[in-house]
Chains A and B, each alone.
Chain A
């Protein structure tokens, strides 16, 4: 789908956020970008989204550059429009491309249903819990049927129980939607549970240090699997070695 080719990014002020970063992403990949803060993982995600431009290197898209709707983005905060209902928040990406409400509503309701929010269509963000707001945010990212779903520490601000539930539900959504997911996190447990490929990044300057493949089943029960604990250990060792 996408090849990130020796990309570098230096912010004004001379902070080198990324250096010589290369990564290949294929259809239906689930990649976790894992590392401490300042390792450039969010920068890499923004470059892929086209929200920022690299200073060196390039992004090679198979089959041409993405058009609006090809990429879904989920931020750390739900970033919903507080004055809009759940339904209207999910409608937004379709509305921006000129779709009418009547055309969009079946897609909007399907997306809300997929994230488990059927029945909350007309609720405003204030009336929803943090976990539910994040579900609306995920539905909004899914409603355009993106080829690539980018997620920037989406569950970091949630409590652990909500986070576990959302992680398990995200795996279901990913399997159904069949899109590629790139998931930024600083949690080894989260990366190990979710991702098929765990990409370790190190800071100053941000770069990719190692990659670990996971052979765990993408299901909720994996959390109790001894192989999951083993993978966490493996990632922890690799991360410690990379940071040493």
Chain B
């Protein structure tokens, strides 16, 4: 059972390779898995450096989104005025497609790294914000009553009830936003890359596609996919560990 996904993957790869061999598919249309591995082996340092650059943007954006999303959710939970002021803008930010605003951001923000982080943050922000906001409101009303009965101050209710209740929601938001930050970083890199900013895995993909180096393009794609999977499972594992330590999972 445990090996089922790996076996299935290997089987699919074998069929893919066989199909490419048997049908003599040209490598610039569809490279086989062996050609892709070969492309990676030809320039591991270049591809991995590009991946590191993309991941740096991803983690920076995830961090900023976590701080901003968490802080704005707390502000909203603490004040109705803040809620009225913030909520529509947060939704507007979420529904605006990144490719549409990325060129503007890249022009406005001088530093390319900062511009990429801003773009990825916009994509990663909403799940963290929305999840934390619903987590802050998730405590049962009886516990609210209990805190009122004992004359709790607002900051006490926030620190001892709302924030701890929001933690599991925040952590699952972090997991969703991790993948989104990676997607946001890649999209922003594509936009920036076509403007000549040469860094990150997306730029390698763009570059390889211009040169019809399909195996290298696929190798970069596979690296991105692996990074996304590791990020997702990693953030999930970290979240579970934290909740287990707190005795709530």
Contact = CB atoms under 8 A, between A and B. Distances in A.
A167 to B, nearest CB: 21
Contacts of A71: 149
A83 B150 contact: no
A116 interface: no
A83 B160 contact: no
Nearest to B245: A83
A93 B143 CA distance: 12
Interface stretch (A31-39, A74-82, A222-230): A74-82
Contacts of B247: 82-83, 85, 124, 126-127
A79 B146 contact: yes
Contacts of B156: 96
A77 B142 contact: yes
B246 A75 contact: no
A113 interface: no
Contacts of A144: 150
Interface string B134-156: 00000010110111111110001
A81 B161 contact: yes
Given A79-B146, A83-B164, A83-B247, A96 B140 contact: no
B248 interface: yes
B246 A83 contact: yes
Given A83-B248, A126-B247, A73 B149 contact: yes
Q: Which of A50, A77, A85, A92 has the most CB of B within 10 A?
A: A92
Nearest to A50: B149
A46 B149 CA distance: 10
Contact of A82 (B148, B152, B248): B248
Contacts of B145: 46, 49, 51, 73, 75
Per DSSP, chain A at the interface is: loop
Contact of A79 (B143, B148, B150, B246): B143
Contact of A69 (B143, B147, B150): B150
Interface in B160-205: 160-161, 164, 167
Contacts of B246: 83
B199 to A, nearest CB: 42
A95 B160 CA distance: 10
Interface in A44-83: 46, 49-51, 67-69, 71, 73, 75, 77, 79, 81-83
A77 B140 contact: yes
A96 B248 contact: no
A138 to B, nearest CB: 13
Nearest to B247: A124
Contacts of A82: 247-248
Given A83-B247, A83-B248, A93 B150 contact: yes
B160 A51 contact: no
B248 A97 contact: no
A140 B238 CA distance: 33
B150 A96 contact: yes
A21 B247 CA distance: 44
A75 to B, nearest CB: 5
A59 to B, nearest CB: 15
A97 B153 CA distance: 9
Contacts of A75: 142, 145-146
A10 B142 CA distance: 21
20 contacts: A49-B149, A50-B149, A51-B145, A51-B149, A69-B150, A71-B149, A73-B146, A75-B146, A77-B142, A79-B146, A81-B143, A81-B160, A82-B247, A83-B164, A92-B146, A96-B150, A96-B151, A96-B152, A96-B156, A126-B248
Given A49-B145, A75-B146, A92-B146, 14 more contacts: A50-B149, A51-B148, A68-B150, A69-B150, A71-B149, A73-B149, A75-B145, A79-B143, A83-B164, A83-B246, A92-B150, A93-B150, A96-B151, A97-B151
The list of the 8 closest CB pairs from A to B, nearest first, reads: A68-B151, A124-B247, A79-B142, A96-B150, A75-B142, A83-B246, A93-B150, A96-B152
